[in-house]
Amino acid sequence: MTISNGPIEVFSEKSCSGLLKESYLKVFQEAPWDKYLHRQCQLEWITNQEDLFGSSMLTVGDKHEFYLGILSVDELVKKLSSSVDLEEVKHSIEMIKPSRKRFISSAIATIVDGNITGLQRVKTKPFGQALAEIEHSEKIDFRSLPRVFTELPQQYFNDDLVRFIESNIKRAVHSNPKIKMLNITVHHTCIVCDKNSDGTNSPEGIHQDGSDYLVSAYVLDRCNIEGGASVIFGEDKSNEILRTTLDAGYGIFQPDLHTSLWHYVEPIKVARDASFGWRSSVGLDLDIMELYP
């Protein structure tokens, strides 16, 4: 599929099929919970209790500090209205379960005459998406804040992952032959759900990530779930250009920054007769560092 902003490609990457094997999927058992998304869900619960807390809601600064782990649950609760049972509120907040596990890694690619001449893993800097945008600009987009995630263990930055990264570098270079250097951020994420709660990899809603190119998801595993459709919208954020539910072994490559494309992944819910489920994927942010003249 080709549009004015460049290619949108739904792909199946056979060269890195080792990523789909049980031995590789163990990476998600080892991955820590995404504490930032967990705290965002706790904040959303508070925001939804306006009738309970009245005008004594948290400031944007309070929310930022809690999201970043500067404020504890105890300190956050103390900022709420004293007319409610704060211990009960604290208990409700702490009962909210984490729903996303995450590793991160980064690499720098060098391209000469359209060919990849170097791919070097580098330490990931604090991850803040300063150029990201969301559909409803009046809402807080926490992604602009610098987050520090656990680095992917080296054993999982293996030949299959490198082939996967390089395949998508080639897609970016095919779209823009002037690319000389790329910074690639790799996200290993696992979204979980159970009978009491759905899971989401797009808590910000319809959005842009602020990178030149994206693999919004290359799905490695779907287990006991329904939903999780990937949707790409046009400039009006309502006209669907693409809708697909990715099976294991399929992904989406697309341009993002300075385009009219917006995207979203619908929540997953547990399948009938199952008690819990998950969706595991690898995502890429590809940011141009240098162009040939």
Query: Cα(284)–Cα(119) distance, rounded to whole angstroms?
Result: 14
237-264 pLDDT, tens digit per residue, is: 999 999 999 999 999 999 999 999 999 9
Assess whether pLDDT exceeds 80 at residue 6: no
Query: Cα(103)–Cα(260) distance, rounded to whole angstroms?
Result: 29
DSSP reduced 3-state for 49? coil
Give me the pLDDT at residue 14, please.
Answer: 85
Structural domains in the chain, CATH included, are 2-33+98-291 (2.60.120.620), 35-94 (no CATH)
DSSP symbol at 83: T
Assess whether pLDDT exceeds 60 at residue 2: no
86-133 pLDDT, tens digit per residue, is: 888 899 999 999 999 999 999 999 999 999 999 999 999 999 898 889
Assess whether pLDDT exceeds 90 at residue 16: yes
Query: Cα(216)–Cα(150) distance, rounded to whole angstroms?
Result: 20
Give me the pLDDT at residue 1, please.
Answer: 38
* 231 sits in which H/E element: strand 230-233
Assess whether pLDDT exceeds 60 at residue 4: no
CB neighbourhood size of 53 (10 A): 17
Give me the pLDDT at residue 258, please.
Answer: 93
Give me the pLDDT at residue 5, please.
Answer: 52
Give me the pLDDT at residue 56, please.
Answer: 56
Query: Residue range 34-41: average pLDDT?
Result: 96
178: Cβ contacts below 8 Å, ≥ 6 apart: 291, 292, 293
Assess whether pLDDT exceeds 50 at residue 3: no
130-154 pLDDT, tens digit per residue, is: 888 988 877 888 999 999 999 999 9
Assess whether pLDDT exceeds 70 at residue 236: yes
69: Cβ contacts below 8 Å, ≥ 6 apart: 35, 39
The angle formed by the CA atoms of residues 107, 5 and 120, to the nearest 5 degrees, is 10
155-211 pLDDT, tens digit per residue, is: 999 999 999 999 999 999 999 999 999 999 999 999 999 999 999 999 999 999 999
155 backbone φψ class: left, alpha, beta (φ>0; ψ -120 to 50): alpha
Longest dimension (CA), the chain: 67
In terms of Cβ atoms closer than 10 Å to its own Cβ (0-12, 13-18, 19+), residue 73 is middle
50-90 pLDDT, tens digit per residue, is: 667 655 578 899 999 999 999 999 999 888 866 678 888 89
